[in-house]
Amino acid sequence: MRVAPGSGLPELDDSRSGSRDAGPLRRRRQRRTRRAAGVPPTMAAPAAVQRLFEACREVFSGPGTVPPPAGVERIKSVLDSITAADVDLTPNMSYFQRTDPRGTPRITYLHLYRCEAFSIGIFCLPSRGVIPLHNHPGMTVFSKLLFGAMHVKSYDWAAAPQGTTDVQLQGPRLAKVKADGILTAPCETSVLYPEDGGNMHCFTAQDACAVLDVLGPPYDDASGRHCQYYNVSSSATSVGDSMSLPGGDRYACLEESEPPQDYYLVGSTYMGPRILDH
């Protein structure tokens, strides 16, 4: 999901800047805890988000590079170990409350880090919040559900199966359904790739949800990585939501669209442990 200036979000700082921490009070408490345990400050284990940052920095070598399997497993392993407590989030925070029970819930994005090779951030979804169907061109994406339950539907582009009508080059395109179900935390980190794994997906929160995302590389219009939204077409080969074809696979025709008018994405300051870019 793209987070860009002009969409109600604050401008991001220099690519090497870190994120705000939670303040001196929490740092003093942490120091007192370490002293009470007899642990020298220099021996304290790095915060979970710092371990994630260091893994991403070593695995993502730059735009256009898909991490090798060992690199994917390394980042996934770190993300699998991260909890909501590691980023100072709880479901009762204002990010996850519906301000208008009759309106469309607002989605909040918390920026942790961004550089040319990767970005780290958290999407906060109130109950019934929706992140519309969108793509991740040329990107490898890791998504860790920190808490809550959400419905995930994802697609990959597919060639028209034999015996079906070819999809025209302009307009709706045939896509194969990769996932269509509910994820409930705790669960494993999901990974998608430039050409497979469900590169186009949408999220619908069943209750308050927090999703920690790693994108490598991030969206960048100048580099051709533009976030495109889609609707399921009812005017092409697929009528309605999806269709089943021989072999048991499900397909749908997707067509490019503008973001829904009732989709609200806003930025807020991340207040959890700080990422240090040495």
List pLDDT tens digits, range 126-170: 999 999 999 999 999 999 999 999 999 999 998 655 555 544 445
Q: What is the pLDDT of residue 165?
A: 52
* Beta bridge mates, 201: 134, 154
What pLDDT digit, counting tens, does each position of 190-215 carry?
A: 999 999 999 999 999 999 999 999 99
Confidence band (pLDDT; 50, 70, 90) for 103? confident
pLDDT at 113 over 90: yes
**Most distant pair of Cα atoms in the chain: their distance:** 71
Tell me how crowded residue 168 is: count the other CB atoms within 10 A of its CB. Answer: 11
pTM of the shown model: 0.79
Size of the chain in residues: 278
Mean pLDDT score, 225-246: 67
User: Measuring CA to CA, how many Å separate 172 from each of 51, 238, 243?
Assistant: 42, 10, 14
Spatial contact of 108 and 95, defined as CB atoms under 8 Å apart:
yes
What is the spatial distance between Cα 124 and Cα 75, in angstroms, rounded to a whole number?
A: 21
What span, in angstroms and rounded, lies between the C-alpha atoms of 268 and 10? 8
Terminal alpha carbon distance of the chain? 28
Q: Distances from the Cα of 39 to the Cαs of 21, 24, 51, 57, 130, in angstroms?
A: 22, 20, 19, 28, 44
DSSP strand pairing (200-205 vs 130-134) = antiparallel
Dihedral sign for Cα atoms in the order 253, 258, 262, 268? positive
Q: Using a pLDDT cut of 90, give the percent of the chain over it.
A: 65
Find out whether the peptide bond into 161 is cis, omega within 30 degrees of 0.
no
pLDDT in tens, 22-65: 444 554 455 454 444 444 444 456 799 999 999 999 999 876 77
Asked if pLDDT for residue 12 goes beyond 60, the answer is no
